[in-house]
Structure 1
Amino acid sequence: MCATRGTRRGAHPTSSSERQSDRRSHGFPARWRKVVQSHGDALRDRVADFVRNRVMPCEPVLDAGGPGAAAALRELRARARQEGLWALPLPAELGGRGLSFERYAALAEAEGASDHGPAALGSASLLDAAMLWKHGGHRIREEYPARLAAGELRACYAMTEPDTPGTEPLRTATRAEEQPGGGWRVSGRKWFVSGAAGADLVTVLARTDGEPGDREGLSLLVVPTGSPGFRVVRELPVFGAGGQWEIDFDRVPVDADHLLGRRGEALAVAAERLQTGRTLRCLRWLGQAQRAFDLMCLRANSRTGSRGPLAGHQLVQSHVFEALLALRTTRPLVHEAAAKIAAGLDAHVEVGLAKVAAARMLQQVADAAIQVHGAAGLGPDTPLPALFRTGRAARILDGPDELHVTSVARRVLRAYEKYENDGKGTYEQCAS
Structure 2
Amino acid sequence: MTVQSSQFQMSPRVKELRKKVREFIDNEVIPNEKKIGKYGPEGIEILRNVQQKAKDEGLWALGLPKEIGGGGLPFMDYVYINEIIGRSQAAMVALGTHTAQDATMLHLFGTEEQKEKWLYPMVRGEISPSVGLTEPEVAGSDPTLIQSTAVLDGNEWVINAHKWFTTNADKAAFTTMFCVTEPDAPPHKRASMIIVPTDSPGYEIVRIVPTIGEFGNHPEIRLTNVRVPKENIIGNRGEGFVIAQKRLGPGRIYHCMRWLGQAQRAFDLMCERALNRYAHGSLLADKQMIQKYIADSATEIQAARLMTFEAAKKIDEGSDARIDIAMIKVYGAEVLHNVIDRAIQVHGALGVTADTPLEEMYRNARYARIYDGPDEVHTQSIARRILRKYKEGNAWDPADF
Scaled by the length of structure 1, the TM-score of the pair is 0.86
State how far apart, in whole Å, the 1-side matches of 2:207 and 2:254 are. 27
CA shift for structure 1 position 217: 1.6
State how far apart, in whole Å, the 2-side matches of 1:321 and 1:198 are. 42
1:280 aligns with 2:254: yes
CA shift for structure 1 position 216: 2.1
1:303 aligns with 2:311: no
Question: Hey, what does 2:198 align to over in structure 1?
Answer: 225
State how far apart, in whole Å, the 1-side matches of 2:53 and 2:398 are. 48
State how far apart, in whole Å, the 1-side matches of 2:83 and 2:188 are. 36
1:266 aligns with 2:240: yes
1:63 aligns with 2:37: yes
State how far apart, in whole Å, the 1-side matches of 2:345 and 2:184 are. 50
Number of residue equivalences: 389
Amino acid at match of 1:139: E
CA shift for structure 1 position 39: 12
State how far apart, in whole Å, the 2-side matches of 1:145 and 1:341 are. 24
Amino acid at match of 1:52: D
CA shift for structure 1 position 344: 2.2
CA shift for structure 1 position 415: 2.3
> 1:171·1:212 contact (CA, 8 Å) conserved in 2?
no
Identity of aligned residues (%): 38
> 2:149·2:160 contact (CA, 8 Å) conserved in 1?
yes
Question: Hey, what does 1:234 align to over in structure 2?
Answer: 207
RMSD: 2.0
> 2:275·2:285 contact (CA, 8 Å) conserved in 1?
yes
State how far apart, in whole Å, the 2-side matches of 1:431 and 1:410 are. 15
Question: Hey, what does 1:202 align to over in structure 2?
Answer: 175
Amino acid at match of 1:167: S
> 1:136·1:258 contact (CA, 8 Å) conserved in 2?
no
State how far apart, in whole Å, the 2-side matches of 1:248 and 1:211 are. 24
- The within-5 A match list for 1:10-29 is none
- The within-5 A match list for 1:6-85 is 41-85=15-59
Partner deviation per Cα, 1:263-293 (whole Å, 9 max, x = no partner):
0011111112111001101111110000000
1:155 aligns with 2:129: yes
Question: Hey, what does 1:292 align to over in structure 2?
Answer: 266
State how far apart, in whole Å, the 1-side matches of 2:89 and 2:330 are. 19
Amino acid at match of 1:376: L
1:190 aligns with 2:163: yes
State how far apart, in whole Å, the 2-side matches of 1:137 and 1:325 are. 46
1:372 aligns with 2:346: yes
State how far apart, in whole Å, the 1-side matches of 2:396 and 2:266 are. 38
What secondary structure does 2:101 align onto?
helix
Question: Hey, what does 2:7 align to over in structure 1?
Answer: none
CA shift for structure 1 position 337: 1.6
Question: Hey, what does 1:352 align to over in structure 2?
Answer: 326
CA shift for structure 1 position 212: 9.6
Question: Hey, what does 1:170 align to over in structure 2?
Answer: 144
CA shift for structure 1 position 343: 2.0
CA shift for structure 1 position 205: 0.6
> 2:104·2:247 contact (CA, 8 Å) conserved in 1?
no
Amino acid at match of 1:119: V
What secondary structure does 2:207 align onto?
strand
Q: Say which of 102, 105, 109 aligns to 1:135.
A: 109
State how far apart, in whole Å, the 1-side matches of 2:399 and 2:45 are. 53
What secondary structure does 2:178 align onto?
strand
Amino acid at match of 1:165: A
CA shift for structure 1 position 213: 7.6
CA shift for structure 1 position 401: 0.7
Question: Hey, what does 2:357 align to over in structure 1?
Answer: 383
Amino acid at match of 2:207: R
CA shift for structure 1 position 298: 0.3
Scaled by the length of structure 2, the TM-score of the pair is 0.93
1:363 aligns with 2:337: yes
1:255 aligns with 2:229: yes
Structure 1 pair 96/57, CA: closer, same or farther in 2 (3 Å)? Answer: same
Deviates more, 1:375-384 or 1:305-314: 305-314
Question: Hey, what does 2:187 align to over in structure 1?
Answer: 214
What secondary structure does 2:225 align onto?
strand
State how far apart, in whole Å, the 2-side matches of 1:269 and 1:188 are. 19
Structure 1 pair 212/374, CA: closer, same or farther in 2 (3 Å)? Answer: farther
State how far apart, in whole Å, the 2-side matches of 1:403 and 1:149 are. 32
State how far apart, in whole Å, the 2-side matches of 1:74 and 1:430 are. 46
Q: Which runs of 4+ in 1 moved over 4 A?
A: 426-432
> 2:103·2:119 contact (CA, 8 Å) conserved in 1?
yes
What secondary structure does 1:243 align onto?
strand
State how far apart, in whole Å, the 2-side matches of 1:348 and 1:215 are. 18
1:337 aligns with 2:337: no
1:109 aligns with 2:83: yes
Question: Hey, what does 2:385 align to over in structure 1?
Answer: 411
Partner deviation per Cα, 1:85-109 (whole Å, 9 max, x = no partner):
1111121112211112211111001
Question: Hey, what does 1:324 align to over in structure 2?
Answer: 298
State how far apart, in whole Å, the 2-side matches of 1:240 and 1:39 are. 43
Partner deviation per Cα, 1:22-79 (whole Å, 9 max, x = no partner):
xxxxxxxxxxxxxxxx998110111111111110000121122211110110010011
State how far apart, in whole Å, the 1-side matches of 2:218 and 2:26 are. 25
Structure 1 pair 65/429, CA: closer, same or farther in 2 (3 Å)? Answer: closer
Deviates more, 1:363-372 or 1:163-172: 163-172
